């Protein structure tokens, strides 16, 4: 038996909508499902504007463009995140400045951010890592004091809340991914959320080759072909309509891990009082200096047919960003972390098998 680390939950509703789009021949970026998906996701995130795009990296690029960030600007990015957050800054022509994450919640450490603000700083990218919100209030206060924009990278946190507010609705812009391993998926896909109508206008303009919406084939800026297809949007609409079920399954899985893995020389990811996380991944952090490394833990689980993933490498460890500094918290978490099977389709028997395997290995 192989237990995957993640797999999509596709129901008859997704098949119905996708089949309808295909039968109508609306398989490109025009068609009613794109607008319906955007409206549904805006409502889900409690924001007035949601703009679909090709993937989460594109969403970050468009967010930066929408905020007018480019050459000469600096953007502060967490040292522990998927590399797309840093790469998108480079795509926009700006400069990446890394800051360490907080040991309690794994989001950007506000004190580390404060120390890295310069006259060239224009924005902060707050990543809601593995589904747990970053501590947004201190970051928003810092940003307001220094007139910075805040982009929420919520690719891994669809549906999470920070002090009652949906992630993606707190900063000036939010970005999301709908890759196949995300809680809600379109296979590939992304979304930008914002309450700022001017940012929304710029994002729509640049994602569609810079075409003036009032005059077809009249291109007023050098834009990009970053559109989502109607077929993908059809799947996305169904996933948003099923969000309650998908998120409920995630919480069920997380609760089982918390109960089943008590008393072991490890800890699970944080769940702070001000956060309603969504447990995109269930993260196991081994005690440093213990008998097992994270890599060995993955090997032993793989021998039992259980797929896992390592934590992200610190951005500063990657060849393109070496020399950016030392980030002890990010480095320690990356060294000791393992992501356990977390897909919403994980059956009770599979979950019990994972818990039993982890207990056997660590006891």
Map out the domains of the chain as residue ranges. 12-241, 244-362
CATH for 12-241, options being 3.40.50.300, 3.20.20.140, 3.40.640.10, 3.30.420.40: 3.40.640.10
CATH topology of domain 244-362: 3.90.1150
Mean pLDDT by 10 residues, the chain (363 residues): 93 98 96 98 98 98 98 98 98 98 98 98 98 98 98 98 98 98 98 98 98 95 98 98 98 98 95 98 93 96 98 98 96 98 96 98 95
- β pairing state of 149-153 and 173-177: parallel
What's residue 231's pLDDT?
Answer: 98
Q: Are 54 and 228 in contact (CB under 8 A)?
A: yes
DSSP character string of 228-262:
PPHHHHHHHHHHHHTHHHHHHHHHHHHHHHHHHTT
Question: How far apart (Å, rounded) are the C-alpha atoms in residues 259 and 257?
Answer: 5
Q: Are 333 and 314 in contact (CB under 8 A)?
A: no
Question: How far apart (Å, rounded) are the C-alpha atoms in residues 28 and 228?
Answer: 8
What's residue 288's pLDDT?
Answer: 87
């Amino acid at each position: 038996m192989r237990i995957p680390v993640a797999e999509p939950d596709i129901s008859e509703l997704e098949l119905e909508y996708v089949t309808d789009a295909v039968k109508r021949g609306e398989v490109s970026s025009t068609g009613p499902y794109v607008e319906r998906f955007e409206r549904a996701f805006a409502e889900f995130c409690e924001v007035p504007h949601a703009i679909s795009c090709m993937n989460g990296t594109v969403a970050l690029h468009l967010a930066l463009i929408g905020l007018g960030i480019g050459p000469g600007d600096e953007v502060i990015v967490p040292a522990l995140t998927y590399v797309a957050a840093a790469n998108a800054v480079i795509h926009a022509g700006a400069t990446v400045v890394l800051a360490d994450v907080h040991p309690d919640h794994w989001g950007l450490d506000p004190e580390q951010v404060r120390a890295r603000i310069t006259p060239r700083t224009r924005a902060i990218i707050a990543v809601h890592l593995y589904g747990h919100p970053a501590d947004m209030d201190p970051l928003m206060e810092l940003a307001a004091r220094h007139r910075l924009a805040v982009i929420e990278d919520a690719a891994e946190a669809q549906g999470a809340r920070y002090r009652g507010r949906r992630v993606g609705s707190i900063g000036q812009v939010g970005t999301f991914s709908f890759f196949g391993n995300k809680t809600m998926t379109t296979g590939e896909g992304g979304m930008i959320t914002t309450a700022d109508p001017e940012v929304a206008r710029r994002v729509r303009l640049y994602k569609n080759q810079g075409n003036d919406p009032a005059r077809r084939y009249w291109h007023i800026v050098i834009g990009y072909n970053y559109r989502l297809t109607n077929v993908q949007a059809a799947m996305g609409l169904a996933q948003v309509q099923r969000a309650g079920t998908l998120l409920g399954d995630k919480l069920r899985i997380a609760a089982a891990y918390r109960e089943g893995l008590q008393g072991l020389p490890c800890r699970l990811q944080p769940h702070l009082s001000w956060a309603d996380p969504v447990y995109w991944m269930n993260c196991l952090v081994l005690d440093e200096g213990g008998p097992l490394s994270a890599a060995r833990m993955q090997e032993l689980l793989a021998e039992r047919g259980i797929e896992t993933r390592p934590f992200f490498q610190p951005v500063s460890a990657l060849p393109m960003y070496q020399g950016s500094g030392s980030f002890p918290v990010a480095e320690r978490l990356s060294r000791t972390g393992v992501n356990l099977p977390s897909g919403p389709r994980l059956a009770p028997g599979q979950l019990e098998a994972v818990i039993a395997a982890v207990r056997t290995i660590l006891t």
